[in-house]
Amino acid sequence: MDSDLDALIVGAGPVGLSMAIALAMHGLRFRIIDSAPNRVNESRALGIQARTLEIFEMAGIVDEFLAQGRQLHGLHLYGESGRQIGHLRFDAVPSRYPFLMALAQSETERILGDHLSDLAVHIERQTTLLSFAQSGRSVSAILALPDGEREEVHCDWLLGCDGAQSRVRDLLNLKFAGKTYDLHFLLGDVHAECPLADNEAHIFGRKEGLFALFPLTKGFFRLVADNPPDRFRSEKKPTLEEWQEVVNTRSTVPIRLSDLGWSTYFRVNSRMVENLKRGRVFVMGDAAHIHSPALAQGMNTGIQDAWNLGWKLALVQKSLAHPTLLDSFEAERMPVERGVLGMTDFTQTMITAEKSINRFLRDSLLPLLIGFEVFQSKAAKTISETAIDYRHGPIVEDHRLPHGPHAGDRAPYATVIRQSNEEEITTISLFGRQHVLFVLVESQSEPEIRKEFESLFELIQDRYAEIVRPYLILSDEKQFIRCTVDCLIDAYGEMKKEFGAGSALYLIRPDGYIAFRCPADKSSWLTTYLAKEFLPLREHEAATR
């Protein structure tokens, strides 16, 4: 490519920072700009879902989040009478992180920003995108710099991660269709003396309105309330006295507030763009979709947007895949984002339930539903975003196996032992940079299959070494097969449990989703898939000369 940069990232919130980490992991040349002078210092988005923590593990930064955040293991919902009508448990989340992590957005941005600094990436603040023009080969952008000067930047791709008031979206003339709810909300972070469990969230849905508490650090809570009295709204932000009045009228337990920190009013929008990609320009995160904060989906969905696009952009920029690969970003993420808008709209309507008949139905039916384990499991998977799949996406291919996850599903995690040094690792730690091929071998008494996968390893090394890293998965430490790839021992039987018994091939994308699966004795089907989706190294070398 002839441009100065592979990409220009506009916006340095959690989505833009995650996008920058993804591109840095793949060695792309980029700049990240933000018009604000500093990162946010308010808590704002505070719920980090299990799927996002898995992404952070792939990026090598999850330990800092675990050290700083607060684990919430469930959610209590209280009805009209004040009695509990539902208890949603997060222990049903199929992840190494079966909880909702509560952490202020300011801390999330700090951790992500510090990691970028460690990668020698500088965030250019007080730098604003003024305009851009794109051709079939590049994008030319005009930036306003902190000293008032202007700069023209040439990049191959422009990535709009610049929030709900997106400049990128506006310059693309993308419709942001949807609605604004006729509801006003209060948000606040405050110290509270409260008898409720501080490792779970609590939501009261009474005729006076919604009131919710989400534990933060010890003694501090995020409070949320809807439809405050009209007299409150003349203030720039809710006062401690106003918050105490709301709590007194809506909580059925005594809660005493003090030391009010960040607090604000807001209105809920439910909006989404018509396209995520126009030419060489993408939008993602709040620039592409905004909705109710119910269930803590917004920031997490945006981070998944970035993680979905990062590896695809890297393969195209390195001439290891056809540019049409980038069309799969919109094809995969648009259905997810529509689903999130629908789910959050429904949840907000159910919880707020302004009409008495709606509150009666909610309080009568929810205890019945939430008592079923199948409902608990589905709800936990949906909220944690571990249920998202791309089964109907254009770049996945599934060949039926008797057991195990399908192509397009999120790859389940397992703990295995690396045969070479007896190190215990999780499979999630292998994802992030390359496609990972798991060759699961059930028994040594399959010489034909062993011969076939030896040929497969040679082909991958010869044609796709930069794209695919293969691993041989053995069922126990007694098996020993001499080969040129890493061998992983399924010492605890977790691979067999998650991926099914029998010999099989699973190709996992860098974002942790299954791209392809087939029986182990059908490796020619995999080589056909690789030839269709990727450019072999010889073609890559010719394209980059």
How many Å apart are CA 397 and CA 470, to the nearest integer?
Answer: 18
Which pLDDT score is estimated for 226? 83
Structure tokens at 11: 């916006």
CATH number for the segment(s) 5-41+104-174+274-354: 3.50.50.60
Answer whether 0.85 is exceeded by the pTM.
Answer: yes
In terms of Cβ atoms closer than 10 Å to its own Cβ (0-12, 13-18, 19+), residue 137 is: exposed
The DSSP result for 165-188, as a single string, is T-HHHHHHT--EEEEEEEEEEEEE
DSSP 3-state percent helix, strand, coil across the chain (nearest 5): 35, 30, 35
Question: For residues 102 and 326, what is the distance between their CA atoms, to the nearest angstrom?
Answer: 33
The Cα-based distances of 407 to 194, 430, 459, 509, 534 in angstroms read 47, 18, 22, 10, 17
Residue linked to tokens 């959690």: 14
Residue 390 has pLDDT above 70, yes or no: yes
> Which of 30-34, 279-283, 344-348, 481-485 has the lowest average pLDDT?
481-485
pLDDT at 2: 54
| pLDDT score, position 351 | 75
- Residue 411: DSSP 8-state: P
The string of pLDDT tens digits covering residues 226-258 is 877 666 655 578 889 989 999 999 998 999 999
Give residue 479's pLDDT.
57
HSE on the CB side for 3, CA within 13 Å? 25
Single-letter residue type at 86: G
Please give the pLDDT value at position 185.
83
Checking if the pLDDT of 191 tops 70, the result is: yes
pLDDT band at 363 (very low <50, low <70, confident <90, very high): confident
- For 213-222, write each residue's pLDDT tens digit: 999 988 899 9
The segment(s) of the chain belonging to CATH 3.40.30.10 are 397-543
> Does residue 1 have a pLDDT over 50?
no
Q: What are the start and end residues of each CATH 3.30.70.2450 domain in the chain?
A: 179-268
pLDDT over threshold 90, residue 276: yes
What pLDDT was estimated at residue 448? 63
Cα–Cα dist 21/19, whole Å = 5
Q: What share of the chain has pLDDT > 70, as a percent?
A: 93
In this predicted structure, which of 74-88, 109-123, 149-163, 278-292 has the lowest mean pLDDT? 74-88
Q: Domain 179-268 adopts which CATH fold?
A: Alpha-Beta Plaits (3.30.70)
Domain with CATH 3.50.50.60 in the chain: 5-41+104-174+274-354
Confidence of residue 370 (pLDDT cuts 50, 70, 90): confident
Quote the pLDDT of residue 545. 47
Q: Is the pLDDT of residue 449 over 80?
A: no
d(CA 512, CA 431): 6
At 518-534, the pLDDT tens digits run: 998 899 999 999 999 99
d(CA 296, CA 298): 6
Q: Which structure tokens are listed for 401?
A: 């196996």
Residues 446, 449, 453, 459, Cα dihedral to 10°: 150
Looking at the domain 397-543, which fold is it? Glutaredoxin (3.40.30)
